[in-house]
């Protein structure tokens, strides 16, 4: 191959030479070249080695679908050389060859090729199973593909959602005409073209065809109603025309995945030329006619010196003309329409040297061009439920039935001159726009926020009134009298398919999976029809009888980066977070919340709370504002205890169970007014409890008048705990904090540190005298800082989540989800007095009625290891002494700085729950230790004297 | 008992450094979190429900924007005093509740012709005039954060008010700035207004 003089339709810019390297050697191409065209122009004929037999491979299609032109570009593996545009300085190399592309030692596989037929791996490496790890390591050495650079930079991928009236998949003549007609009719249009420019086959056509392409392209680019995406692919069509589009060249992202909800989808991908199966059909120098014409007319590359052309259609004839124009000696034109064909391509290992024909002759040639028909890429239609039907007269598949919101045009719909395709495209665009208008009308009618429509009556879809395209007769040419490669990506030959069919894999879906034909990077674009044809021949049936496989998305491979897109991982922070960060808090992620785990010394924080006063940011505590005359009814239904008599200013603890009696949340609720309550939930349970409550209101009790408003972050919540807490809080508020005026489990509203709209309640998760302040969040940080300032002489210091967890464990308070699990019913946690079975109804009542009598349920107990220095990790098993019989597990464990020893909570079988029982705990080391069941859940201050002062 | 000493100033949930010169930037994102925000809940049978805008639409009267954010739920947004007056004027006969969410929500204004293109990167909704005309109200995930969104054009400039939970506000603001980088989004000064 060599670079030609300037060609009339070439897309390369000869004023911009681009240096690059190929396997370490310098080369030069031009702007506009693909990697493949630049290499071809510089005389390169071998681009890769085949997957299994490592046979030398040259260009076949010279475009995106070329199965033989995957290369490594810098740290980028598996780059499609037939598509990726050349850039200056590219470091391009062949993949998976050793020691070199020209002399690949793995080509020895070809010598044992007859043993490597379909199913070889399945059959050979099944036994003995114990050797599979060895097999795996060896096979990995033969895996195809490039090299991943794990140190390469994480690049920016992006996502976008859009809602065009009409999405046109394919920018050939019919697609462009559709887009223009739809936009002229007022539709918003997104036109997606797989290649680098619009035009389809017109781009490498004659002068008149290029002129037509230029006109249509200019109209598309200039039309305000058309958004043109080049080098982009509609990779999938899903329910209601939800279409995935991968945009490969975007100035701000490596790739962008566009999720387009199209009102109408126009499918116009054109046709993909099909290879011919014969001996030697994968030798470098065997090209499809489209590839030869693209090389000559787009990239000014002379594809060979002396050619044989096998033609069954007008495209093959045009290729002959083009080859002769650029000076290729066309030694023989083999006209398949007259019954002639090619039998084999012969030559050395690396190139075609002669071509054997069906008339018995042999022609010396370094180039064999085939033009034997097309594959209809019906993938997007398959995804809409269409099952394509084979037409033997046209030798290709056509769509059968598609939904009203899909319209087909171009080669998928039929044949015709460029003008006829454009005319069909226009009619298609007009129809697509009319149908999109009906969808838009329906959406607007049914969406309250949408702009009102003039006519509010339902409209029906316009019928398809287009004149259909004709279908040209075409000979059925799939395999010659010899066997050759069917799937170039997977190295599957027609002989493999016949053997598989003989073994009984005689369904097209089975043979596909057994041989892996159509499962390589080309995903059936080149090989599906030939696979079906070879199978049909082997079964003695027609192609129509065999049918075809169902194409699934994606239509073209999608990178994981594009699928990931921008990574949205919301985090939540309280208004005090800037202070925490500035003061060295170690962050911990609790759900979406970033919280301070500690400020350097969690045990010191505990001691300070026990001895002085500490403050902790508990903003994530779920908070629901409840208003209405029926709130008490709702609370009584959600919680197991009673609520009717809770006075204004009172606070009550409650446990919430699911209908199976399993504990789902707990918290306190305060009554702020006659019909106004504030419920708190666990931090992780806030959203679930809201949904749970709304579910009861909206389904079982729509008659109850209750409004629930989540206000978790309306308030910054600060727990002030410790013996000095009363003194500290009193310095910031006029609320009377005397224990007679403001007792335990009561709530007061007022001003704190100048902030209006606050409330506080006396509760005690830490076991100390404590006040939980709820401050409007805009003032949260100010109040936090005021507490620290005003409490300096009282020893105030912040404490984090870890200190809080230690103190609650010292007090024996359980945490839902930590000390309970998805099977923990309420009697297990020891709160039976809160189960009021005399209430008319509440969530979980039926189950709990049984559960309270069930003496087999596990019990939550306080546990202390006999060795005070051993802290069993949480989830350590508790077993029956001397056996492995599991009796329970440790649910929480810490070292208590207050008691100077290890403390735990755990769930145990009832027979092991009595105070004083000695338990055996299995540590992660396997060591067994003894531990005692304590009398109370609380390891410290079991009577609660400290919190009630 | 000592007197409160804290000098209180409403602190936004967002640390946003205004762009040095937004000039005639085609796209401007600004913090409006200090706007007063109340939610009104009212049963369909109440006078309040009958007089407030229908779900999915909004009305602006003076300095107060009233948005029908959900069936039976409205947001009242604006400077604190006008909003307080508007809230006070709500007919509370029947099952009606009024909750101040000023501190619960953050609010941003995204304005400029490119605003829909930015939103297309972070939200799956259809931003065309047909489906989201001026005044339309919708709830949606924006960069995976639940938001109430009001289309609010100003003097011919397309604009959107985005209300999110306060705790996610900084994350959301940063996500919007990141998404807007390809459109040269500028950060405008904070403002109290709708």
Determine, yes or no, domain membership for B2.
no
pLDDT band at residue B7 under the 50/70/90 scheme: low
8 Å CB contact of A628 and B130: no
Backbone angles phi, psi at B181, to 5 degrees: -60, -35
Per residue in A139-152, pLDDT (tens digit) is: 777 777 898 888 88
Residue A650 DSSP symbol:
B
Residue B180 lies in a domain: yes
User: Do A627 and B43 count as a contact with CB atoms less than 8 A apart?
Assistant: no
How many other C-beta atoms can be found within 10 angstroms of the C-beta atom of residue A592? Answer: 17
Q: Which DSSP symbol is given to A699? A: I
Residue B1 in this model has a pLDDT that exceeds 50 = no
- Cβ separation of A733 and B4 shorter than 8 Å? yes
Tell me, yes or no, whether B180 and B116 share the same domain. Answer: yes
Phi, psi angle pair for A353, to nearest 5° = -125, -30
The C-alpha atoms of residue A700 and residue A551 are separated, in whole angstroms, by: 47
Q: What is the 3-state secondary structure (H, E, C) of A1-54?
A: CEECCCCCCCCCEEEEEEEEEECCEEEEEEECCEHHHHHHHCCCCCCEECCCCC
Residues B85 and B148 in one domain: no
Question: Which of these, A620, A623, A622, A564, lies nearest to A592 by C-alpha position?
Answer: A620
Alpha helices in A47-172 (DSSP H): 120-124, 132-141
Contact B131 A751 (CB under 8 A): no
Reported as a pLDDT band with limits 50, 70 and 90, residue A764 is: confident
* Distance from chain centroid for Cα A103: 41
Chain A hits for B2, Cβ within 8 Å:
731-732, 790
Q: Which residues of chain B are within 8 Å of residue A166 when distances are taken between CB atoms?
A: none
- Residue at B167 is within a domain: yes
> Which of residues B100, B121, B136 is at a domain's end?
B100
Mean pLDDT over all residues of chain A?
Answer: 95
d(CA A654, CA A667): 6
Residue scoring higher pLDDT (B178 or B22): B178
The number of distinct structural domains making up chain B is 2
Residue in chain B nearest A704 by alpha carbon: B95
Q: Are residues B76 and B107 in the same domain?
A: no
Residue B174 sits in a domain of what CATH number? 3.30.1360.120
Based on the fold, state whether residues B158 and B141 are members of the same structural domain: yes
Instruction: Decide if B171 and A578 are in contact by the 8 Å CB cutoff.
Output: no
Q: Do B103 and A713 touch (CB under 8 A)?
A: yes
Per-residue pLDDT tens over the stretch A869-907: 999 999 999 999 999 999 999 999 999 999 999 999 999
Across the interface, which of A162, A259, A625 has its CB nearest the CB of B99? A625
SS3 annotation, chain B: CCCCCCCCCCCCCCCCCCCCCCCCCCCEEEECCCCEEEEEEECCCCHHHHHCCCCCCEEEECCEEEEEEECCEEEEEECHHHHHHHHHCCCCCCCEEEEECCCCEEEEEEECCCHHHHHHHHCCCCCCCCCCCCCCEEEEEECCEEEEEEECCECCECEEEEEEEHHHHHHHHHHHHHHHHHHCCEEECCCCCC
Please tell me the predicted confidence (pLDDT) of residue B3: 44
Model confidence at A603, in pLDDT bands (50, 70, 90)?
Answer: very high
Contact of A566 with A393, CB cutoff 8 Å: no
| B130–A159 CB contact, under 8 Å | no
- What share of chain B has pLDDT > 70, as a percent? 96
A697 secondary structure, DSSP code: I
Contact across the interface for A449 and B43, Cβ inside 8 Å: no
| Chain-chain contact of B171 with A570 (C-beta, under 8 angstroms) | yes
Contact B148, B194 (CB under 8 A): no
What architecture is domain A577-808? 2-Layer Sandwich (3.30)
pLDDT, average across residues A221-226: 98
To probe the interface with A, which of B121, B133, B178 has the most A CB atoms within 10 Å? B121
Of B69, B100, B131, the domain-final residue: B100
In a domain, B158, yes or no: yes
List of E strands, A248-302: 256-261, 264-267, 272-273, 286-288, 301-302
- Is 90 exceeded by the pLDDT of residue A171? yes
Mark yes or no for CB contact B4/A619 under 8 Å.
Answer: no
Q: Which two tokens stand for residue B178?
A: 């990141």
Best A443, A570, A675, A701 residue to mutate vs chain B (most B CBs within 10 Å): A570
Residue A509: count of CB within 10 angstroms of its CB: 12
If residue A694 lies in a helix (H) or strand (E), which one and from where to where? helix A686-695
Note whether B49 and B120 are same-domain residues: no
Give the CATH fold of the A809-847+855-933 domain.
Answer: Elongation Factor Tu (Ef-tu); domain 3 (2.40.30)
CB contact under 8 A, A733 and B6: no
Tell me the C-alpha distance between B67 and B138, whole Å. 9
Helix axes A686-695, A631-638, angle to 10 degrees: 110
Are the beta carbons of A162 and B120 separated by less than 8 Å? yes
- Dihedral of CA atoms A393, A398, A404, A409 in degrees, nearest 10, equals -90
Q: What percent of chain A has pLDDT over 70?
A: 99
The residue in chain B having the minimum alpha-carbon distance to the alpha carbon of residue A732 is B4
CB contact under 8 A, A161 and B124: yes
Q: Are residues B80 and B117 in the same domain?
A: no
Rounded CA-CA distance A169/A175 in Å is 7
pLDDT confidence bin for A947, thresholds 50/70/90: confident
- What would be the CATH architecture of the domain defined by A2-107? Roll (3.10)
Report, as an integer, the average pLDDT of A711-716: 97
H or E element in which residue A511 lies: helix A508-515
3-state class of A110 per DSSP? helix
Check residue A113 and give its pLDDT: 66
Dist. CA A707–CA B46, nearest whole Å: 14
Give me the residue spans of the domains in chain A: 2-107, 158-271+378-446, 478-567, 577-808, 809-847+855-933
With respect to residue B4, please indicate whether it lies within any of the assigned structural domains: no
The string of pLDDT tens digits covering residues A441-467 is 999 999 999 999 998 899 999 999 999
Q: Kindly provide the ipTM of the predicted complex, given to two decimals.
A: 0.95
Look at B4 and A779 and tell me if their CB atoms are within 8 Å: no
pLDDT of A116 higher than 70? no
Phi, psi of B141 (to 5 degrees): -75, 130
Is pLDDT at A112 greater than 70 in this prediction? no
A872 burial via Cβ count (<10 Å: 0-12, 13-18, 19+):
buried
CB contact under 8 A, A569 and B144: yes
Q: Tell me which chain B residues have a C-beta less than 8 angstroms from the C-beta of A162.
A: 120
Task: Write down which residue in B60, B78, B100 finishes a domain.
Answer: B100
CATH assignment at residue B87: 3.30.70
Question: Which are the contacts of A807, defined by CB distance < 8 A and separation ≥ 6?
Answer: A606, A609, A610, A721, A765, A766, A767, A768, A898
pLDDT tens per residue across span A557-574: 899 899 988 889 999 999
- Please write the tens of the pLDDT for every residue from B124-145: 999 999 999 999 999 999 999 9
- How many other CB atoms are there within 10 angstroms of residue A156's CB atom? 17
Instruction: Give me the DSSP letters along A806-834.
Output: HHHHHHT---TTTT--TT-BGGGGT-GGG
Looking at residue B4, what is its pLDDT?
Answer: 41
Is the pLDDT reported for residue A125 higher than 80? no
How many A×B Cβ pairs under 8 Å?
173
pLDDT digits (tens, 9 = 90+) for B30-58: 999 999 999 999 999 999 999 999 999 99
Judge if B90 and B123 occupy the same domain. Answer: no
Query: A581 to chain B, minimum CA–CA distance in Å?
Result: 14
Determine contact, residues B17/B185, Cβ cutoff 8 Å.
no
**Who contacts A22 (Cβ-Cβ below 8 Å, separation ≥6)?**
A39, A42, A44, A92, A93
Q: Residues of A with CB below 8 A from B172's CB?
A: 570
B17 found inside a domain: no
Residue B11 lies in a domain: no
Closest CA–CA distance from residue B8 to any residue of chain A (Å): 7
**Residues spanned by the domain of B182:** 28-34+103-188
User: Measured between CB atoms, which of A251, A572, A707 is closest to B97?
Assistant: A707
Q: Does residue A830 surpass a pLDDT of 60?
A: yes
CB B116 within 8 A of CB B127: yes
Residues of B with Cβ-Cβ distance to A777 under 8 angstroms: 13, 103-104, 166
State which fold the A158-271+378-446 domain adopts.
FAD/NAD(P)-binding domain (3.50.50)
Hey, is A514 helix, strand or coil?
Answer: helix
**Best of B103, B123, B131 to mutate (most A CBs within 10 Å, chain A):** B103
User: Which has more pLDDT, A108 or A843?
Assistant: A843
Structure tokens at A497: 């398919």
Same domain, B67 and B108: no
Contact A795, A883 (CB under 8 A): no
| Residues of chain A neighbouring B190 (CB-CB closer than 8 A) | none
Q: How confident is the model at residue B2, as a pLDDT?
A: 41
Q: pLDDT for A45-73, tens place per residue?
A: 999 999 888 899 999 999 999 999 999 99
For residues A618 and A766, the answer to whether their CB atoms sit within 8 Å is no
Looking at the fold, whether B184 and B161 belong to one and the same domain comes out as yes
The string of DSSP letters for A717-731 reads EEEEESTTHHHHHHT
DSSP-derived secondary structure letter, A594: E
Q: Is the model's pLDDT at A428 over the cut of 50?
A: yes
User: Among B3, B4, B37, B84, which would you mutate to test the A interface (most chain A Cβ atoms within 10 Å of its Cβ)?
Assistant: B4
As a whole number of angstroms, the distance between CA A487 and CA A50 comes to 10
Find the mean pLDDT for residues A404-415.
97
The dihedral of CA B31, A573, A663, A945: what is its sign? negative
Domain presence at residue B132: yes
Looking at the structure, tell me whether residues B92 and B168 fall in a common domain.
no
**pLDDT tens-digit series, residues A243-285:** 999 999 888 999 999 999 999 999 999 999 999 999 999 999 9
pLDDT tens per residue across span A512-560: 999 999 998 888 999 999 999 999 999 999 999 998 888 889 999 899 8
pTM, full prediction:
0.92
Residues B108 and B172 in one domain: yes
Chosen CATH of A478-567 out of 3.30.70, 2.130.10, 1.10.10, 2.160.20:
1.10.10
pLDDT band at A114 (very low <50, low <70, confident <90, very high): low
Q: Judge if B154 and B134 occupy the same domain.
A: yes
Query: Which pLDDT score is estimated for A111?
Result: 67
CB atoms within 10 A of CB B193: 14
A783 contacts in chain B (CB < 8 Å): 6
In the predicted model, is pLDDT for residue A1 greater than 80? no
pLDDT of B21 reads 81
């Amino acid at each position: 191959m060599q670079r030609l003089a300037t060609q009339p339709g070439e897309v390369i810019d000869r004023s911009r030479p681009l240096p690059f390297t190929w396997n370490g050697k310098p080369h030069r191409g031009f702007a506009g070249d693909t990697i493949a065209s630049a290499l071809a122009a510089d005389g390169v004929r071998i681009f890769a080695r085949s997957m299994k037999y490592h046979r030398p491979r040259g260009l076949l299609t010279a475009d995106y679908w070329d199965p033989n032109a995957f290369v490594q570009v810098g740290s980028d593996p598996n780059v499609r050389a037939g598509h990726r545009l050349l850039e200056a300085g590219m470091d391009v190399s062949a993949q998976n060859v050793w020691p070199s592309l020209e002399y690949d030692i793995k080509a020895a596989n070809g010598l044992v090729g007859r043993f490597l037929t379909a199913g070889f791996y399945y059959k050979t490496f099944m036994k003995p199973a114990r050797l599979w790890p060895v097999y795996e390591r060896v096979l990995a050495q033969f895996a195809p593909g490039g090299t991943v650079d794990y140190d390469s930079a994480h690049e920016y991928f992006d996502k976008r959602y859009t809602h065009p009236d009409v999405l046109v998949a394919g920018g050939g003549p019919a697609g462009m005409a559709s887009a223009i007609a739809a936009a002229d009719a007022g539709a918003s249009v997104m036109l997606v073209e797989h290649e680098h420019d619009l035009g389809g086959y017109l781009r490498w056509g004659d002068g008149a065809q290029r002129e037509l392409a230029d006109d249509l392209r200019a109209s598309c680019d200039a039309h305000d109603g058309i958004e043109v995406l080049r080098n982009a692919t509609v990779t999938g069509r899903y329910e209601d025309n939800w279409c995935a589009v991968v945009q490969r060249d975007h100035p701000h992202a490596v790739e962008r995945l566009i999720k387009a909800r199209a009102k109408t989808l126009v499918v116009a991908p054109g046709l993909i030329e099909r290879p011919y199966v014969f001996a030697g059909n994968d030798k470098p120098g065997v090209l499809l006619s489209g590839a030869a014409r693209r090389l000559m007319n787009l990239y000014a590359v002379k594809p060979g010196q002396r050619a044989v052309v096998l033609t069954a259609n007008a495209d093959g004839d045009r290729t002959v003309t083009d080859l002769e124009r650029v000076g290729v000696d066309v030694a023989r034109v083999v006209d398949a329409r007259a019954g002639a064909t090619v039998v084999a391509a012969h030559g050395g290992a690396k190139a075609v040297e002669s071509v054997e024909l069906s008339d018995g002759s042999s022609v010396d040639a370094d180039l064999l061009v085939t033009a034997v028909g097309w594959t209809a890429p019906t993938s997007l239609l398959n995804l809409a439920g269409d099952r394509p039907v084979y037409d033997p007269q046209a030798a290709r598949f056509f769509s059968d039935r598609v939904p009203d919101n899909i319209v087909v045009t171009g080669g998928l719909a039929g044949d015709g001159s460029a003008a006829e395709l454009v005319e069909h495209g226009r009619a298609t665009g007009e129809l697509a726009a009319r149908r999109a208008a009906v969808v838009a009308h329906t959406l607007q009618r049914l969406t309250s926020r949408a702009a009102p429509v003039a006519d509010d009556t339902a409209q029906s879809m316009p019928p398809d009134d287009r004149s259909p395209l004709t279908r040209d007769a075409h000979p059925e040419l799939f395999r010659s009298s010899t066997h050759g490669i069917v799937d170039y990506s997977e190295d599957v030959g027609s002989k493999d398919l016949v053997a598989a069919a003989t073994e009984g894999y005689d369904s097209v879906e089975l043979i596909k999976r057994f041989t892996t034909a159509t499962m390589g990077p080309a995903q059936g674009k080149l090989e599906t029809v030939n696979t079906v044809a070879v199978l049909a021949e082997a079964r003695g049936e027609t192609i129509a009888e065999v049918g075809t496989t169902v194409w699934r998305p994606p239509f073209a491979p999608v990178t994981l980066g594009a699928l990931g897109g921008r990574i949205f991982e919301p985090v939540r922070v309280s208004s005090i977070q800037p202070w925490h960060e500035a003061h060295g808090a170690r962050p911990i992620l609790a759900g979406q919340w970033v919280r301070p785990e500690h400020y350097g010394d969690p045990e010191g924080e505990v001691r300070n709370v026990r001895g002085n006063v500490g403050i902790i940011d508990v903003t994530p505590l779920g908070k629901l504002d409840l208003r209405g005359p029926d709130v008490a009814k709702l609370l009584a239904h959600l919680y197991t205890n009673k609520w009717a008599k809770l006075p204004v200013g009172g606070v009550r603890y409650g446990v919430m169970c699911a209908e199976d009696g399993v504990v789902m949340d707990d918290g306190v609720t305060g009554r702020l007014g006659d019909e106004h309550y504030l419920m708190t939930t666990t931090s992780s349970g806030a959203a679930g409890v809201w949904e749970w409550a709304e579910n009861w209101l909206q389904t079982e009790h729509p008659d109850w008048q209750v409004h629930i408003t989540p206000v978790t972050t309306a308030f910054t919540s600060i727990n002030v705990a410790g013996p000095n807490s009363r003194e500290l809080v009193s310095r910031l508020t006029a609320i009377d904090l005397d224990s007679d005026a403001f007792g335990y489990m009561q709530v007061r509203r007022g001003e704190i540190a100048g902030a209006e709209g606050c409330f506080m309640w006396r509760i005690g998760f830490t076991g100390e005298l404590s006040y939980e302040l709820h401050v409007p969040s805009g003032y949260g940080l100010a109040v936090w800082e005021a507490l620290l300032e005003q409490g300096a002489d009282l020893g105030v210091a912040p404490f984090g989540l870890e200190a809080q967890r230690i103190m609650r464990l010292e007090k024996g308070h359980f945490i839902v989800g930590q000390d309970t699990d998805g099977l923990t019913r309420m009697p297990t946690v020891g709160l039976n007095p809160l189960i009021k079975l005399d209430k008319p109804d509440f969530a979980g009542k039926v189950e709990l009625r049984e559960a309270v009598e069930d003496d087999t349920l596990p019990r939550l107990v306080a546990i202390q290891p006999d060795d005070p220095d051993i802290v069993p990790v949480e989830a350590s098993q508790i077993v029956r002494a001397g056996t492995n019989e599991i009796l329970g597990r440790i649910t929480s464990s810490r070292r208590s700085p207050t008691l100077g020893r290890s403390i735990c909570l755990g769930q145990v079988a009832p027979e092991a729950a009595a105070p004083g029982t000695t338990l055996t705990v299995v540590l992660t080391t396997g060591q067994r230790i003894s531990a005692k069941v304590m009398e109370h859940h609380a390891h410290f201050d079991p009577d609660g004297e400290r919190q009630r002062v | 008992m000592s007197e409160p000493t804290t000098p209180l100033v409403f602190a936004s949930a967002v640390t946003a450094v205004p762009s040095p010169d937004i000039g005639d930037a085609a796209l401007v994102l600004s913090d409006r979190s200090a706007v007063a925000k109340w939610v009104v809940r009212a049963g369909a049978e109440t006078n309040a429900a009958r007089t407030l805008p229908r779900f999915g639409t909004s009305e602006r009267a003076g300095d107060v924007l009233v948005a029908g954010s959900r069936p039976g739920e409205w947001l009242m947004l604006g400077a604190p005093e006008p909003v307080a007056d508007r809230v006070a004027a709500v007919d509370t006969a029947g099952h009606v509740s009024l909750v101040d969410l000023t501190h619960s929500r953050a609010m941003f204004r995204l304005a400029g012709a490119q605003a829909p293109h930015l939103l297309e990167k972070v939200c799956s909704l259809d931003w065309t005039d047909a489906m989201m005309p001026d005044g339309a109200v919708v709830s949606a995930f924006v960069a995976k954060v639940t938001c109430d969104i009001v289309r609010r054009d100003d003097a011919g400039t397309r604009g959107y008010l985005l209300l999110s939970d306060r705790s996610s506000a900084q994350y959301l603001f940063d996500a919007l700035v990141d998404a807007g980088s390809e459109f040269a989004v500028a950060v405008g000064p904070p403002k109290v207004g709708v």
